[in-house]
Structure 1
Amino acid sequence: LQTLTLFAMAGELHSYSEVCEALSTLEVALGFLAMTGGEPLMQLSCYLEEVLQMENQMAPHIFKALSMCCLKHCVALWQLLISLKSENMLRLKRDPFVGVSEKYKQVLGEDEHRLLTGFFSKNSADAFLLEMHEFLVLVLQKPNALDTFRPDWLKDTLFSYMERKDLDIPRDVEELFPVEILLCHYVEAWKFIVAFKQERGQRQ
């Protein structure tokens, strides 16, 4: 899914409740697609309207936002919406990562702040940030995550996760993402990066 499409879609969803509504609608669609399959190039809005007959259950602008995607984009869209949900929870002073072990929530020091600021000042890495969040939600949030993922790991762990999904790791991320950021910093690093990018976006 193109980054511009992602930003356009994010711009259509203005609140936590709207993101949650879009996400729950998408998860219904994904559930049906997992069971019955679908035509990859079919517009998601057509699928919701004609196959699932859900159009009347959605606010028009949410339906419009979902109409920007085809069925083949559903997983990428889920990745975006689940991240937007967490970002909105942060804005509402709520913790999106209640189930994540405290061992992955170590506070960042000045050095880590400086390294992350330096990296994300030079590299947008939006897709990588979405992968970071997905790994956090799908992997580190599991109760037994510590059995597999040691808090003193990070870069190689995340890259291996992406490679198992047959994703190319952006060269700038592979070469320049600071090795000093470890899994023990993971939650706070993600929060810091999101806040940094939002602040930079407001200044532009």
Structure 2
Amino acid sequence: LQTLTLFVVAGELHSYSEVCEALSTLEVALGFLAMTGGEPHMQLSCYLEEVLQMGNQMAQHILKALSMCCLKHCVALWQLLTSLKSESMLRLKRDPFLEVSEKYKQALGEDEHRLLTGFFSKSSADTFLLEMHEFLVLVLNKPNAPETYRPDWLKDTLVSYMERKDMDIPPDVEELFPEEICLSHYVEAWKFIVLFKQERTQ
């Protein structure tokens, strides 16, 4: 999904409940697509209305937000909506990462704050933030994650995760992301970057 589309979709969903509704609708669609497949270029809203007959169960503005995407964008949209859900929970002072091991939740010091601020002042945070969040919810929230992903790793772990998905790693991530930030700081680093991004866009 293009970054502009991500911003527009995010802008259509104003509250935690709307994000959750859009996400649960998308997950229904993904479940059916996994079983039956679909035409990649079909508009997601058409699929929901015509194939799944869900049009009358959804708020119109949520349908409108989802109409900006085709079926081939569903996974990217899931990535966006799960991240928006976590960001909304942060704003509501709720913890989106209760199941993540404490080993990945160490507080950041002033040096780490400075390094992260420097990195995200120079680079486009959005795609990388989404990848960070996906890795957090799909990988690090598993009970045995610390056995596989040592808390003193980070950058190489995330880069190799993105490479396994055949993604192009943004050059500024490889060159500029601070080596000093470890997996032990992962949750707090993600939260800090989200808050930094929110302040920058206000």
**TM-score band, normalised by the shorter chain?**
over 0.9
Q: Which residue of 2 aligns with 1:182?
A: 182
Note if contact 1:48-1:55 (Cα within 8 Å) is conserved in structure 2: yes
Q: Which residue of 2 aligns with 1:200?
A: 200
Once residues 142 and 56 of structure 1 are traced to their aligned partners in structure 2, the CA distance between those partners, rounded to angstroms, is 36
CA apart distance, 1:125: 2.5
Q: Which runs of 5+ in 1 are unaligned?
A: none
Q: Which residue of 1 aligns with 2:143?
A: 143
Q: Which runs of 5+ in 2 are unaligned?
A: none
Note if contact 1:18-1:62 (Cα within 8 Å) is conserved in structure 2: yes
Q: Which residue of 2 aligns with 1:124?
A: 124
Note if contact 1:104-1:184 (Cα within 8 Å) is conserved in structure 2: yes
CA apart distance, 1:115: 0.2
Once residues 122 and 156 of structure 1 are traced to their aligned partners in structure 2, the CA distance between those partners, rounded to angstroms, is 20
CA apart distance, 1:34: 0.3
Q: Give the alignment's TM-score, normalised by structure 2.
A: 0.99
User: Which 4+ runs in 1 deviate beyond 6 A?
Assistant: none
Note if contact 1:42-1:71 (Cα within 8 Å) is conserved in structure 2: yes
Counterpart code for 1:113? H
Counterpart code for 1:170? P
Once residues 74 and 122 of structure 1 are traced to their aligned partners in structure 2, the CA distance between those partners, rounded to angstroms, is 29
Q: Which residue of 1 aligns with 2:84?
A: 84
Q: Give the alignment's TM-score, normalised by structure 1.
A: 0.98
Q: Which residue of 2 aligns with 1:168?
A: 168
Note if contact 1:125-1:173 (Cα within 8 Å) is conserved in structure 2: no
| Matching of residue 21 in structure 1 with residue 26 in structure 2 | no
Once residues 200 and 191 of structure 1 are traced to their aligned partners in structure 2, the CA distance between those partners, rounded to angstroms, is 14
Note if contact 1:99-1:142 (Cα within 8 Å) is conserved in structure 2: yes
Note if contact 1:106-1:184 (Cα within 8 Å) is conserved in structure 2: yes
Q: Which residue of 1 aligns with 2:110?
A: 110
Once residues 151 and 172 of structure 2 are traced to their aligned partners in structure 1, the CA distance between those partners, rounded to angstroms, is 24
Identity rate, percent: 88
CA apart distance, 1:189: 0.1
| Matching of residue 93 in structure 1 with residue 93 in structure 2 | yes
SS in structure 1 of the partner of residue 73 of structure 2: helix
Once residues 29 and 167 of structure 1 are traced to their aligned partners in structure 2, the CA distance between those partners, rounded to angstroms, is 24
| Matching of residue 6 in structure 1 with residue 26 in structure 2 | no
Once residues 112 and 42 of structure 2 are traced to their aligned partners in structure 1, the CA distance between those partners, rounded to angstroms, is 44
SS in structure 1 of the partner of residue 131 of structure 2: helix
Give a deviation string over 1:122-158, Cα, whole Å, max 9, x none: 1123101100000000000001101100000000000
Total equivalences in the alignment: 202
